[in-house]
Chains A and B, each alone.
Chain A
Amino acid sequence: MRKLLSMSVASGLLLTGAAIYVYQVSQPGTVRMRFDAVVGNKPLVFNDARYSNPGGAGMFRIRDFQFFISNIDLHGEKGVYRVPDSYYLARFDNSSTSYQINLANVPRDWYSAVTFSIGVDEVANGSIMSVGDLDPNSRMAWNWEVGYKFLLFEGALIDSDTIRPLVYHVGFNENRKTLRFNLPEEVAPDSSDALLFTVDVLALFTGKNTVDMAALPNVKFDRDDARLLAGNYGTMISLTARP
C-alpha cells in the first residue's frame, strides 16, 4: 500500500518534471549583448585620460560618448527574429565602461549571426514618438525637423596650453550603418555567456579616414563631414576575440 503510494508519487513527480522541462525548452528566453569600450589599445577613461590626436598634433580627452544601436536581428535556424522596438542608446559612463542589452522573450532557436544598425532608421528618425530609448526631449535629439544624432562625441583637444572644444554630432538617414556579425559559435537563449563586442572609440578618427582633430574639431550639419565620420564608425564595433 505504502509502496504503491510512493511509486505513484515518484512517477508523478517524474512526469511533472519532464513536462516542465519540455515546456521550458520551448519557451522564449534572454539573449544578452555586451559592448565594452576601448580607445585603440587603451582603456576608455572619461575626462581624465589623454589620447593622441591620430591625425595631427595635440592630445584629446573625452567628456561624452554615446550612440544608438537599433534594429537588432538574430539569425537562427528557424528564421530571423527581429527584436521589436529595438532602439538602444549605448553609453559607457559607468565603472566598467560597458553597455549591456538584455533581449528578453527571444524565441528558442540556435542563432548563428546578429545584425544591427549604428543609428536610427528613417521612419523612427522622422518621428517624435518615444520608442525604446528614442526620446525627442533627450540630448540625442537635434530637433524634430532634423531627427536624431546617431552618435555623439564631445571632448577637448589640448595642444600646449590651448584647449579647443571637440564636438562630433553625427546624424542624417544616409549615415545609418548596418553591421553583421557571424558568431563563432551558435547561441541559444539563456545561455550563460553574453555576446561580447568591442567598441573602439578611436576608430571614429582612424577607421577608413584618418582625422586630424585640429583641422576638423567639429562635425554637425555638414553632410560631407558627417559622411566621413560615419564611414569610420561603421568600423568601430567588432566581436571580442575569446581567449
Chain B
Amino acid sequence: MESGGFGSINKSIAMLSLCGVMLIAIIYGFVAYIEPKPTPLQGFTAPFVFGKFRVPDDNPLTQEAVQLGRRLFYDKQLSGDNTVSCSTCHLQHLAFTDGKARSVGVSGKTLDFNSMSLANLMWGPRHFFWNGRVDSLEEQALAPIQDPNEMAQNLDDLIDELEADDVYPGLFRSAYGKISAENIARALATFERTLISADSKYDQYLRGELKLSAEEELGRKLFMAHPDVKVSLRGGNCIDCHSQFLTSGFNAQFDGFSNNGLDTEALLNPGLQFTTGQVTDRGKFKVPTLRNIALTAPYMHDGRFTTLEQVLDHYNEGIRVSDSLSPLIMEADNQPQDAVNIRISLNLNEEEKRAIIAFLHTLTDHSFITEDKFSNPFDADTMPDA
C-alpha cells in the first residue's frame, strides 16, 4: 500500500519535472533566439611593445558594438539640442582633438580643459579625464553627454530618441539587446578601444623598417634619458613621465599623473586631488600620450601653449615650483647644479631642443588620421536631419 502510494506520487513528480524541464527548454530556446550573438572583432592587433591590455568581460570587442559605437560617436543626436557630437571636440584629422585651447560645447561657454587625444586608450593610465576621476571608458563616455556645458543631454530623452530612430534599434539589438544608457556607454567605449595608433615613423623605426634621421635620433636619445652630469649623459627628461613605447603616462595606480611645473603654489589647480582627496596630489594632471603630438596643439590641460617650441621652453627654463612638483623635473639638469642656489633648468641647447621636437614629429601617424574605420560613418550615407 505504502510503496504503491509513493509510486503514484513519484509518477506525478516525474511528470511535473518533465513539464518543468520542457518549459525551461522552451524559454531558453526563445531567449537564446532573441539574445544577440555578436561577431567577435576579427584582425584586431596591437604592437607587443604596448604591453598587456584588458577588455572588460561584460563588453567584448565585437563588430556590431564597434559599428554602433562609431555611429554614436559621430551622431549629434547625442547632445540635447542635436548640434554637438563626440566628434565635435574629437576630430579624426587632429588625432581626435579639436585644435582649441579649451573646448566649447552646447552652452557656448569655454570649458576648463583642453580636449584630449583619443589614441591607444587601453594602455597608459587606467583613469580618465585630466583629473582621473573615472576608471573606465564606459564610465567616461556618459559624462560629457550629460554635462550641461558639453552635450547637455538627458539620458532618458536620448534613449527615447534612439528608440524612435530608423537605424539604432536594429544596431543595438544585434550588438547588445536593448537600448540603454549602459549599452550606449559600452558601444562608445568599444569604438574608442579600436582607435589604435601604431604606424608612425617611430613605430616603423621600432619594427626595424627604417632609420631615423640624425636629428630625430638625437631627439629620441634625449627623450629617453634623464640627464646625469656625473656620467656626461644628456637628457630631455621626457621618459620620466612619458613611457618609452606608448609615450603615455604610466599605467600603475596613479603613477601616470604628474605636476609638471606649470603654476606656482598659489595658482595650482586641484587636479588629481579632486579624485584622491590627497593634498599631495594637488596640481597633478594626467600625463597624456604624445602620439600625434604635432597634430594636437594647443598643449597642456588648459591649452596654454600653442607650439611645441613653447612646450620645450617650459620644460627647459619655465618650471614653476610648488610642493607637489615632480622631484625628477626639479632635479634634472644638464649642467652641474649649484647646491645652494637651485635654479631649475634642463639647460638643453637650441640644437637639442630642435632635435626633441624633430623626434616628436616622428610620432605622427598618418594612417591613423585617415583610417576609414575611424571616420564619420554619416559621410558615407546621408546625414540624418538634425
Q: Which residue of A lies closest to B240 (CB)?
A: A139
> Which residues of the other chain, B, contact A130 by a CB distance below 8 angstroms?
51-52
Chain A, interface size category, equals: 35 or more
> Which residues of the other chain, A, contact B226 by a CB distance below 8 angstroms?
142, 169, 220
| Partner-contacting stretch, out of B155-163, B228-236, B345-353 | B228-236
| Partner-contacting stretch, out of A4-12, A16-24, A159-167 | A159-167
Q: Identify A222's interface contact among B48, B231, B250, B331, CB under 8 A.
A: B231
- How far, in whole Å, are A142 and B233 apart by their CA atoms in the complex? 13
> Which residues of the other chain, B, contact A167 by a CB distance below 8 angstroms?
327-328, 331
Known: A93-B253, A222-B231. A137 touches B327 (CB 8 A): no
- How far, in whole Å, are A221 and B229 apart by their CA atoms in the complex? 9
Q: Is the CB of A137 within 8 A of B51?
A: yes
Q: Mark B194-215, 1 if CB is under 8 A from A, else 0.
A: 0000000000000000000000
| Partner-contacting stretch, out of B20-28, B32-40, B241-249 | B241-249
Known: A156-B327, A165-B327, A165-B331. A138 touches B228 (CB 8 A): no
Instruction: Report how many residues on chain B are interfacial, defined by Cβ distance under 8 Å.
Output: 33
What is the distance, in angstroms, from B125's C-beta to the closest C-beta of chain A? 11
Does B50 have its Cβ within 8 Å of any Cβ on chain A? yes
Q: Identify B243's interface contact among A89, A137, A162, A225, CB under 8 A.
A: A137
Known: A143-B225, A162-B340, A225-B230. A135 touches B253 (CB 8 A): no
Q: Mark A135-157, 1 if CB is under 8 A from B, else 0.
A: 11111011111000000001110
Does A214 have its Cβ within 8 Å of any Cβ on chain B? yes
> Which residues of the other chain, A, contact B339 by a CB distance below 8 angstroms?
164, 214, 217
Does B123 have its Cβ within 8 Å of any Cβ on chain A? yes
> Which residues of the other chain, B, contact A162 by a CB distance below 8 angstroms?
340, 342
Q: Is the CB of B245 within 8 A of A136?
A: yes
What is the distance, in angstroms, from A37's C-beta to the closest C-beta of chain B? 16
What is the distance, in angstroms, from A133's C-beta to the closest C-beta of chain B? 8
> Which residues of the other chain, A, contact B244 by a CB distance below 8 angstroms?
136-137, 141, 143-144
Q: Is the CB of B331 within 8 A of A218?
A: yes
Does B111 have its Cβ within 8 Å of any Cβ on chain A? no
What is the distance, in angstroms, from B119's C-beta to the closest C-beta of chain A? 14
Q: Is the CB of A139 within 8 A of B255?
A: yes
Q: Is the CB of B327 within 8 A of A63?
A: yes
What is the distance, in angstroms, from A72's C-beta to the closest C-beta of chain B? 20
Does A101 have its Cβ within 8 Å of any Cβ on chain B? no
Does A128 have its Cβ within 8 Å of any Cβ on chain B? yes
What is the distance, in angstroms, from B313's C-beta to the closest C-beta of chain A? 21
> Which residues of the other chain, B, contact A221 by a CB distance below 8 angstroms?
228, 230-231, 233
Q: Is the CB of B239 within 8 A of A143?
A: yes
A20-52 interface (Cβ within 8 A of B): 46-47
> Which residues of the other chain, A, contact B245 by a CB distance below 8 angstroms?
128, 136-137
Which A residues contact B (CB, under 8 angstroms)?
A: 46-47, 63, 89, 91, 93, 128-130, 135-139, 141-145, 154-156, 162, 164-167, 169, 214, 217-218, 220-222, 225
Q: A142-B239, A221-B233 are in contact. List 20 more A-B contacts (CB 8 A).
A: A63-B280, A63-B327, A89-B252, A128-B49, A128-B245, A129-B48, A135-B252, A136-B243, A136-B245, A137-B243, A137-B248, A137-B251, A141-B244, A144-B244, A162-B340, A166-B327, A167-B328, A214-B339, A220-B228, A220-B231
User: Can you list 25 contacts pairing A with B, beta carbon distance less than 8 Å?
Assistant: A47-B280, A91-B253, A128-B245, A129-B48, A130-B51, A136-B243, A137-B51, A137-B246, A137-B251, A138-B251, A139-B255, A142-B226, A142-B239, A143-B224, A164-B339, A165-B327, A165-B330, A167-B331, A214-B339, A220-B231, A221-B228, A221-B230, A222-B228, A222-B231, A225-B230
